[in-house]
Structure 1
Amino acid sequence: MPLPSPSAYLTRHARPERPVRRLVCFPHAGGAASFFRPWSRYTGPSVELLAVQYPGRENRFREALISTMDPLVSAVADELRDLPPLPTVFFGHSMGAAVAYETLLRLEQAGAAAHITRLCVSGRSPDGAAGPAVRTDEEVVEAVTSLGGTHAAVFDDPDLRQLLLPAIRNDYQLIDGYRRRNDAPLLHTDVHALTGDRDPQVTPEQAAGWGAVTSGAFTLTVLEGDHFYLVPAAERVTRIAMEPAQPLPV
């Protein structure tokens, strides 16, 4: 079971008695905080591991879904501001990369991000994947299963399908309607982009575009795998996220 959480939006998976660092994880579209629970085995005894819990899933199943970026980011940023300051890394996968980026941007603009040392963005380019918006249930199922995140058999069960589809459809609506502002200020925080070498949504070259969103150091790591490369590589990805970043050679 997850440890008691500091807020509705933040689920605690690891809480050391005297934490010296913090890792905050942002799930993919249709994902939930529990996706990152296994990472508590790899973060080390001094790292507090938190995962963002979007409304409408798991312990927040009965809460209204949020289908646009701004109110979601505002709520997450508000609750992160209430935490005791610790050196902190943000890690966001796929849709979560965009949510983590926008949350950090908001915190930096508010002068509340001095303790955030790195933004890790996984499985997404800064401007997202090109392609038509996902609308129908069939399109949602096809999009999710094509990425390998959810086995197709899950959607063959009518009860599971009814349970899962609203949150997934909502998140696709959110990310389809999101566009990073062209005039967004540069981040000051270091950025580390990670991607699978066979990800159908983002190439390593596209992932490298994250280097343009920060005045800090930028690192790109390409690992073997598809869009959900981080599932079998959870230990390695966790350790990469918590290591000091090294800038790309000029």
Structure 2
Amino acid sequence: MSETATDPVGPTTGTGWLRQFHHADADAPRLVCFPHAGGSASFYFPLSAALAPGAEVLAVQYPGRQDRRGEPCVDSIPTLADAVVGELRQWQDRPLALFGHSMGSSLAFEVARRLEAEGDGPTALIVSGRRSPRMIRDEGIHRADDEVLIAHLARLSGTDARILGDPELLELILPAMRADYRAAETYRYTPGPPLRCSLSVLTGDDDPQLTSAEARDWATHTTGAYALTVLPGGHFYLASQWSRVAELIRERLG
């Protein structure tokens, strides 16, 4: 499944920051999912379907896209994290785990830190396709012109090629893309206590955005259990193997 500007949100409940696509068992573990740069909540529809009804999946919807297209984009990871934490306070009637892909991993990490600081941290943090927070690499994509940004998106194969070739659709998605890349590339880790929850890292074996050293460095950010899993594919390896990703997440939730 490729992310597009016109992806339907699908059958869903929730407003504001969180979307829920499928019903779950009353005692199911709760998983909050954070999209990549330029991504939307609907990216996680296949994962929600694969995990239901054994897990309740909540997908974060950033401002400036899909049903929040009329809202201004947010170009700061700390600002996004503060807003999501405020929303999650309504969902802490049972334990929750966090999952993020690419930029969403950085955001999920910062949300986990804030939740732990408040005394009600997640049971697990699962990150995908993203270097550890203290490994800085500013590629300057958010400062580049539209042609460079579009070429970068094409190389990652996470955006439908038909969208990248349609000027009208590009006009819709580029503001959110640029804001998200600014948030991701300007994010700087502030040293602090490591997390106490388990931390799992997923990555594609042919991901140009992530080295093995950058993936392994996540181990320094938790005192809990740590695991690294490498799957075949590039930066968006998960889009072609949601069932395998769901299986791994199910193990972590268990």
TM over 0.5: yes
What is aligned with 2:126?
120
Q: Does 1:132 align with 2:143?
A: no
8 Å Cα contact 2:109-2:125 kept in structure 1:
yes
2:140 counterpart letter in structure 1: A
Q: Displacement, 1:126?
A: 0.9
8 Å Cα contact 2:38-2:173 kept in structure 1:
yes
8 Å Cα contact 2:154-2:164 kept in structure 1:
no
- CA gap of 1:17–1:131, structure 2 versus 1, over 3 A, is closer
Output the TM-score relative to the length of structure 2.
Answer: 0.90
1:74 is matched with which residue: 49, 62, 82? 82
Measure the CA separation in 2 of the matches of 1:34 and 1:76: 17
Measure the CA separation in 1 of the matches of 2:136 and 2:188: 11
Percent of matched pairs sharing the same residue = 41
Q: Displacement, 1:131?
A: 4.4
8 Å Cα contact 1:196-1:222 kept in structure 2:
yes
Structure 1, unpaired ranges of 5+: none
What is aligned with 1:211?
219
1:96 counterpart SS class: helix
Measure the CA separation in 2 of the matches of 1:152 and 1:218: 36
What is aligned with 2:189?
180
Deviations 1:149-176 (A, max 9, x none): 1134322211111011010011011111
8 Å Cα contact 2:158-2:236 kept in structure 1:
yes
1:142 is matched with which residue: 134, 146, 151? 151
Larger relative contact order (Cα-Cα within 8 Å, sequence gap ≥ 6): 2
What is aligned with 2:180?
171
What is aligned with 2:106?
98
Which range moves more in the overlay, 126-135 or 41-50?
Answer: 126-135
- CA gap of 1:112–1:149, structure 2 versus 1, over 3 A, is same
2:189 counterpart SS class: coil
Higher helix share: 2
Computed over aligned residues only, the root mean square deviation of the Cα atoms, in angstroms, reads 1.7
1:168 counterpart SS class: helix
Measure the CA separation in 2 of the matches of 1:13 and 1:238: 15
8 Å Cα contact 1:43-1:238 kept in structure 2:
yes
8 Å Cα contact 1:219-1:245 kept in structure 2:
no
Q: Does 1:49 align with 2:37?
A: no
Q: Does 1:3 align with 2:12?
A: yes
What is aligned with 1:235?
243
What is aligned with 2:118?
110
8 Å Cα contact 1:9-1:79 kept in structure 2:
yes
Q: Displacement, 1:15?
A: 2.5
The count of residues paired between Structure 1 and Structure 2 equals 242
1:160 counterpart SS class: helix
Q: Displacement, 1:138?
A: 1.5
Runs of 4+ in 1 over 4 A off after TM superposition: none
Q: Displacement, 1:129?
A: 6.0
Output the TM-score relative to the length of structure 1.
Answer: 0.92
Measure the CA separation in 2 of the matches of 1:145 and 1:69: 24
8 Å Cα contact 2:204-2:235 kept in structure 1:
yes
Measure the CA separation in 1 of the matches of 2:26 and 2:126: 24
Measure the CA separation in 2 of the matches of 1:79 and 1:122: 23
- CA gap of 1:220–1:229, structure 2 versus 1, over 3 A, is same
What is aligned with 2:165?
156
